[in-house]
Amino acid sequence: MEKRFELSLLLDFYGPLLTEKQKNVMDLYFNEDLSLKEISEITKTSRQAIHDIIKRCENLLVEYEEKLNLLEKSMKSESIKQKIIKELKNVKIDSEKNSILIGDIIKNIIEI
Amino acid sequence: MEKRFELSLLLDFYGPLLTEKQKNVMDLYFNEDLSLKEISEITKTSRQAIHDIIKRCENLLVEYEEKLNLLEKSMKSESIKQKIIKELKNVKIDSEKNSILIGDIIKNIIEI
C-alpha cells in the first residue's frame, strides 16, 4: 500500500487518540492535501513545527497500528465480507421468501 | 454491564496500549483475580502504588473506549453476526450445493 494512503487510513482509525492540534494539522495535510507552507499560514505555526508535528504523528499512528492492528483487522474483515457476499450470490434461490432473506442478509453483512 | 466485567473486556481491547508494568498489574487483578495485597507481594510494589496503577489504568481504558469505541463496535458487530446466522438458518435449503454454501457462509461470518 502506498505510504501516504496507508497513513491517511491510519488517521481514520487512530485520529481520535491525537490531540486537537495534531488532528487538525494531520487532517489539513492528509485529507485536505495542503502543503506545509499553507498549513503553517493557516495555523500560525512555523513550517518547521508543522513538519515536526506531522513526523511525530506519523510515528504515533504506526505505533498504534503495531499495537492494535485495527487497519489490518479491518482489511481482513472487509475481504471476508466480500467473499461471503459473493457466496451468497451463488446460493440458488427458488422462492420469494429466500430471495428476500438473502437480500436482507447481504444488507446486514455490509453493516457488520 | 457489571463494571468489573466491562473493565476486563476493555483490558482485552486496549491492554496493548498500556505499559508492561501496567498490563501485568491489570492482568493479575482482572484476569487472575488476585487481591491488591497479593499483587503487591508478587510485584514487590507497595499496596498503595498498586491501587494507584489500577485506578489510573481504569481511567485510561475508559478514555480509550470513549475515543475509539472498540468494545461498543464489537458488541454491535457480534449482535449483527448472530442475527445473520439466525437468518441463514431460515433459508430453505433444497440442494446439497446450497447446504454446503450456507455452512461455509456461517463459518466465514464467525471469522469476520
pLDDT, one tens digit per residue, over A15-63 is: 999 999 999 999 999 999 999 999 999 999 999 999 999 999 999 999 9
DSSP one-letter code for B18: S
Measured between alpha carbons, how far is A108 from A90 in angstroms, rounded to an integer? 17
Q: Give alpha helix (H) positions in B1-112.
A: 3-14, 20-26, 36-43, 47-68, 70-90, 96-111
The pLDDT-based confidence of A98 (bands split at 50, 70, 90) is confident
- Write out the residues of chain B at the interface with chain A, using a CB-CB cutoff of 8 A: 13-14, 16-17, 64, 67-68, 70, 77, 80-81, 83-84, 87-88, 90-92, 94-95, 97-98, 101-102, 104-105, 108-109, 111-112
pLDDT, one tens digit per residue, over B42-72 is: 999 999 999 999 999 999 999 999 999 999 9
Measured between alpha carbons, how far is B67 from B49 in angstroms, rounded to an integer? 27
Query: Which residue in the set B67, B94, B97 is minimally distant from A16, CB to CB?
Result: B67
Phi-psi region of A72 (alpha: psi -120 to 50; beta: other; left: phi over 0): alpha
